[in-house]
Amino acid sequence: MEQLLGPLEQRVMEALWKVGRGTVRDVLEKLPRSQRPAYTTLMTIMVRLHEKGLLRRTPKGNAFVYEPTLSEEDFIAEKSRKAVRDVLQRFGDLAFAHFLEESGLSPEQVQHLKKLSEDGEAQ
């Protein structure tokens, strides 16, 4: 299963989610001084995030302005759905049983989910 984001990728995305858009220099200035990578390292990370489809970029003079393609909430929702699909594909019913066990749902809520599932199968 793929990792969501590396530590530096995460910090870059958080900075851009906060400010909306910016150049490599803008993002560098938003990072805490103690966590600032070299400019070229940050540029490489932002290019990779663009290649992964997480950032969109537009030219501005000799630089690019980057902005997230998804809101933080949409990113988390998309990655969560993918993670659940991956676990269910890999481990099937066992994973589903553990999801239910860990969810803390009451027996009534589990029965309600079962009914919803059965109703969906009938359609």
User: In the block, which residue shows the tokens 């990655």?
Assistant: 79
pLDDT band, very low/low/confident/very high, at 1 (cuts 50, 70, 90): very low
Q: Encoding tokens for residue 30?
A: 């938003």
The structure's pTM equals 0.73
Model confidence pLDDT, tens digit, residues 16-67:
999 999 999 999 999 999 989 999 999 999 999 999 999 999 999 999 999 9
Is-contact 27 67, C-beta < 8 A?
no
> Is residue 50 classed exposed, middle or buried when 0-12, 13-18 and 19+ CB atoms within 10 A define those classes?
middle
SS3 of residue 23 by DSSP? coil
